[in-house]
Amino acid sequence: MTNSGGVAAKAGAFWDRAWRSLLAASSAPVWIAAITAMAVILTFIALGGLRPAENSPTLTPTGAEARTSLYAVTVLSAELTDAIDKQFLEAEPGDDLLIVTVRLENLTSQAVGVDQGADRVKSQLIRAREPLLTLYGVTATDDARAWRTDGSLRGVILQPGVPAEVQLVWPVPEDSFPDGIAYLDVFDARERTGQAILSASAVTWRRTELATRIAVEVRS
């Protein structure tokens, strides 16, 4: 029969020796190294070291074409105003209207609308939960709108391979661009079919990765 008192005494003696060994002067370098490593790990985590890496997007200057899988866009200019008389549009109190003039080209074989569906194709370039063209660093106060630079009130339809100059307009809070520069994020997309209830042949452009970021000087 095992003597439980003897076993307990041996276990106690073992842990006493282990504790004395840890507190011994010779163990100081080990403790210092462990504490230093823990501090480095905690600092790494605090600075976001465990977050997924974010790739910096390619920057495209004003006037240069940015091409994606389904469309191409060239930013020509940008300006701020408080009203656009020809479109019967006026900024709300505390807002400005950011007008970005772009050249858009539809690279697919079907006509698409910029801010609405066209022939069972929904481009989602703007006015979508995940638009393909969106402002970076600024939260618009309402949906974007689009029209041709000729002032036409009709919706903008992009025919395949036919570039069109279009004005995209976002209502934004006043003083959104203190340095006078706006950034337009351009997302790539892929075509998805069969997502509509009324037509299994309907096509929707679904946003994928950020293709480029375009910087443009904002005139007032």
- The per-residue pLDDT for range 127-177, each reduced to its tens digit, is 899 999 999 999 999 999 999 998 776 789 999 999 999 999 999 999 999
Q: Would you state the torsion angle of the CA atoms of residues 190, 195, 200, 204, taken in this order, to the nearest 10 degrees?
A: -30
Closest CA to 107 of 184, 164, 192, 169: 164
Q: Would you state the torsion angle of the CA atoms of residues 181, 187, 188, 191, taken in this order, to the nearest 10 degrees?
A: -140
- What's the pTM value of the predicted model, to 2 decimals? 0.72
- The per-residue pLDDT for range 56-104, each reduced to its tens digit, is 788 999 999 999 999 999 999 999 999 998 888 999 999 999 999 999 9
